[in-house]
């Protein structure tokens, strides 16, 4: 069954219910009855009733009365037509007969006088449906406020007899003029007792003339000033030439330069001002006519001191005039109002606090010259009910800041260094970064498998035979840093190309195998994954159970096929964002028949050990902890 308040809107059960006719009856009939009751009670000097009657009609979509029965409703009184919390609510069950019903406001929840004083609109929701558009209260309901007059018992309550009593009794403790000290009556400083000794203070006659006049001309030993036809004076530098040919002089010295002037004095080669952008969640969905709206949060990092900041917004909605946007900065209790309707259309691309001013609030006053790090939260509300319980748009946003950084500089052009370059206390020119490596064999023709073929830390937790006959890969091994340090205990220097191991030998058994391992630690300093593409020469003998492989933090990142001789390849290795990663190569020897030569090779080429921007070598092998995850 469909049900409705007789009026303009109908919905199926569980949908919205129209109630225009309810408000009409409330204003024209129900409140008129209440006024009569109030007047009758006032005549009898009784308390004003704390309830107000409303009447209405429930109908089906076809317009016939709804079925007889009970329906739940929720009523609220509000200060505003749209938005804001209710001043008062109550929930009740109404009984409909022939579609007609009535209900006394205040019968389920106390309807206090202050609520009536502030309320201007009423809203009703049927069952679990959203609240229907609010309607203004009619003046009849405000008659209830006359109840406050009951507390006034008389007219002209303060009489002359009362004033006589006050003057006679309350002035007994007043101070008489004869009891006052001289200074209280005269206001003369000379009548004070215990006046200070001013002998230590300088007299006018003792002061230099400039102290009395404030005139620059009364100074002694004045500095040399700039003049036409002469050089700039003491401590001044030439800023330019004036129209009359005189030198335009200014105070000189580095102390007088602004902190962001490094680009000017370096001829545009060095900069310490930057623009950084931190985006929010992509394509945030905007629900239609949802009271709290939808919010998104950006945790802005510690970048530097703000010289300028703005909020970029790209928003689509069916009706921009019904959209409201608020922004909270770190530790703010009151938001900035960025937008509150006023535009037509369905698309908005703007920069608040840049090309578009804020409606309320002053971001420049609050944040320029400060660090804006912390949580920034934005809320978007759709205040128009046109696609019920659906999504009515989306938005993307970002916090943008121009900073004067004390953490980094940018250099444009070539950098020529005559001395050393030190990063984090390490001389980057004098000391190359390091890697750790290892060499291990698994089988001896005369003695059999090494270490009784038991899995142990000397083989990264894997059995020797698994390395030599079963195509073990490095990701099968332990990532514990103590185990890695046990095996990878040799150190080498990282240049753009290096040979880790290159060996050939005569083989006396197809089970014989050798392996070379290469372990590096790489730090990704950015907010994004970065791909490193090392190019290398290598060997592998998968046909006889000896497979070459690479792992990044325990993942199987690459595995080789058979390589009858030395092979060449380039590998794409994703290095995760915001962490230091372990990258380990395990290269197996080429296989050969008994009596033939075998070969083991690992060499990096094409300058591929030069890391891309955002990655750097980390030398924390000795103190790194945990497994692959750390």
Q: Does residue 25 carry a pLDDT above 70?
A: no
For residues 22-54, one letter each, b for 16 or more C-beta atoms within 10 angstroms of the residue's C-beta and e for the rest, the string is bbebbbeebbeebbebbeeebeeeeebbbebbb
Q: Residue range 545-573: average pLDDT?
A: 93
Q: Is 54 helix (H, G, I), strand (E, B) or coil?
A: strand
Euclidean distance between CA atoms 140 and 138, whole angstroms? 6
Q: What mean pLDDT comes out for the span 503-532?
A: 91
CA-based nearest residue to 138, from 57, 23, 53 = 23
Residue 612 pLDDT exceeds 90: yes
Instruction: Look at residue 414 and tell me whether its pLDDT is greater than 90.
Output: no
Buried b (16+ CB within 10 A) or exposed e, 537-566: bbbbbbebbbbbbbbbbbeebbbbeebeeb
The answer to whether 444 and 450 have CB atoms below 8 angstroms apart is: yes
Question: What's the whole-number mean pLDDT along residues 188-216?
Answer: 83
Sign of CA dihedral 464, 467, 472, 474: positive
| CA 22/CA 558 separation, integer angstroms | 73
**Residue 6, C-beta contacts closer than 8 angstroms, at least 6 positions apart:** 18, 20, 21, 56, 57, 59, 63, 99
Domains of the chain listed by start with CATH number: 2-148 (2.60.40), 236-261 (no CATH), 274-404 (2.60.120.260), 426-618 (no CATH)
For residue 537, what pLDDT is reported?
Answer: 96
DSSP 8-class letter at 28: I
- CA atoms of 133 and 22, how far apart (whole Å): 12
pLDDT of amino acid 385: 86
For residues 146 and 551, the model is more confident at 551
Confidence of residue 517 (pLDDT cuts 50, 70, 90): very high
Supply the DSSP symbol for 15: S
pLDDT band at 528 (very low <50, low <70, confident <90, very high): very high
CA atoms within 13 A on the CB side of 332: 21
Q: Which of helix, strand or coil describes residue 299? A: strand
**CB-CB contact of 578 with 524 (8 Å):** yes
Which residues does residue 323 pair with via DSSP β-bridges, in sequence order? 382
pLDDT for the residue numbered 429? 62
**Which range scores top for mean pLDDT: 197-201, 250-254, 270-274, 425-429?**
270-274
How far apart are the C-alpha atoms of 355 and 484, rounded to whole Å? Answer: 56
Question: What backbone torsions phi and psi does residue 475 show, to the nearest 5 degrees?
Answer: -70, -15
pLDDT in tens, 128-176: 888 888 888 876 555 555 555 555 555 566 666 676 776 666 666 677 7
Residue 604: pLDDT band (50, 70, 90) is: very high
On the question of pLDDT at 22 being above 60, the answer is: no
Q: What is the pLDDT of residue 283?
A: 96
Express each pLDDT in 68-93 by its tens digit.
989 898 999 999 999 899 999 999 99
Q: What is the pLDDT of residue 45?
A: 45
Share of the chain above pLDDT 90, in %: 45
60, with CB counted inside 10 A (0-12, 13-18, 19+), is middle
- Three-state SS annotation for 486-538: HHCCEEEECCCCEEEEEEEEECCCCCCCEEEEEEEEEEECCCCCEEECCEEEE
Cα–Cα distances in angstroms (integers) from residue 161 to residues 156, 172, 514, in the given order = 12, 18, 119
Q: Please tell me which residue, 197 or 355, carries the higher pLDDT value.
A: 355
How far is CA 507 from each of CA 490, 516, 589, rounded to the nearest angstrom? 26, 17, 11
pLDDT of residue 30: 32
**Where do we find the tokens 């240049």?**
495
How high is the mean pLDDT of the chain?
82
Which residues make Cβ contacts (< 8 Å) with residue 481, sequence separation at least 6?
621, 624, 625, 626, 627, 630
- The pLDDT score that the predictor gives to residue 263 is 82
């Amino acid at each position: 069954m469909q049900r409705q308040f007789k009026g303009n809107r109908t919905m199926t059960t569980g949908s919205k219910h129209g109630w225009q006719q309810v408000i009409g009856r409330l204003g024209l009939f129900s409140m008129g009855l209440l006024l009569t009751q109030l007047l009758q009670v006032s005549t009898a000097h009784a308390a004003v009733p704390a309830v107000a009657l409303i009447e209405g009609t429930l109908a089906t979509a076809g317009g016939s009365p709804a079925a007889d029965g009970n329906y739940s409703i929720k009523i609220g009184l509000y200060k505003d037509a749209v938005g804001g919390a209710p001043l008062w609510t109550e929930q009740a069950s109404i009984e409909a007969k022939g579609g007609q019903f009535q209900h006394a406001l205040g019968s389920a929840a106390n309807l206090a006088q202050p609520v009536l004083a502030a309320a201007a609109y009423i809203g009703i929701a049927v069952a679990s449906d959203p609240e229907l558009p609010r309607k203004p209260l009619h003046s009849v309901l405000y008659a209830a406020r006359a109840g406050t007059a009951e507390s006034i018992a008389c007219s002209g309550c303060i009489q002359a007899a009362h004033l006589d009593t006050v003057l006679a009794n309350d002035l007994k403790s007043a101070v008489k003029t004869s009891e006052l000290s001289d200074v209280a009556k005269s206001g003369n400083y000379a009548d004070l007792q215990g006046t200070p000794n001013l002998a230590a203070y300088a007299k006018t006659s003792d002061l230099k003339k400039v102290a009395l006049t404030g005139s620059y001309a009364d100074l002694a030993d004045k500095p040399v000033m700039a003049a036409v036809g002469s050089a700039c004076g003491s401590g001044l530098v030439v800023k330019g030439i004036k129209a009359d040919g005189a030198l335009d002089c200014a105070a000189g010295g580095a102390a007088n330069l602004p902190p962001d002037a490094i680009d000017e004095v370096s001829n545009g080669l060095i900069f310490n001002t930057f623009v950084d952008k931190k985006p929010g969640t992509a394509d945030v969905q905007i629900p239609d006519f949802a009271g709290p709206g939808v919010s998104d949060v950006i945790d802005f990092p510690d970048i530097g001191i703000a010289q300028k900041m703005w909020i970029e917004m790209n928003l689509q909605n069916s009706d921009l005039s019904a959209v409201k946007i608020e922004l909270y900065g770190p530790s703010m209790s009151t938001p900035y109002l960025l937008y509150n309707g006023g535009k037509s259309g369905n698309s908005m691309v703007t920069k608040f606090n840049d090309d578009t001013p804020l409606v309320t609030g002053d971001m420049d006053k609050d944040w320029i010259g400060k660090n804006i790090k912390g949580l920034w939260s934005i809320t978007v509300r759709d205040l128009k009910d046109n696609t019920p319980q659906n999504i009515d748009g989306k938005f993307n946003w970002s916090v943008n800041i121009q900073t004067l950084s004390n953490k980094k500089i940018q250099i444009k052009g070539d950098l020529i260094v005559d001395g050393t370059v030190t990063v984090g206390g390490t001389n980057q020119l004098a000391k190359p970064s390091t890697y750790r490596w290892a060499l291990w064999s698994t089988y001896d023709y005369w003695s059999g498998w090494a270490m009784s073929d038991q899995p142990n830390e000397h083989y990264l937790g894997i059995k020797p035979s698994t390395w030599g006959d079963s195509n073990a890969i490095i990701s099968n091994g332990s990532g514990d840093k103590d185990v890695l340090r046990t095996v990878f205990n040799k150190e080498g220097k990282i240049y753009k190309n290096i040979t880790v191991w290159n060996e050939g030998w005569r083989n006396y058994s197809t089970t014989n195998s050798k392996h070379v391992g290469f372990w590096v630690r790489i730090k990704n300093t950015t907010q994004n994954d970065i791909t490193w593409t090392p190019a290398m020469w290598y060997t592998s003998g998968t046909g006889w159970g000896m497979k070459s492989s690479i792992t990044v933090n325990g993942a199987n990142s690459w595995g080789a096929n058979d390589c009858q001789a030395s092979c060449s390849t380039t590998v794409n290795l994703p290095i995760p964002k915001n962490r230091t990663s372990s990258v380990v190569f395990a290269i197996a020897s080429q296989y050969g028949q008994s009596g033939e030569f075998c070969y083991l090779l690992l060499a990096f080429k094409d300058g591929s050990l030069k890391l891309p921007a955002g990655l750097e070598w980390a030398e924390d092998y000795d103190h790194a902890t945990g497994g692959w995850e750390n």
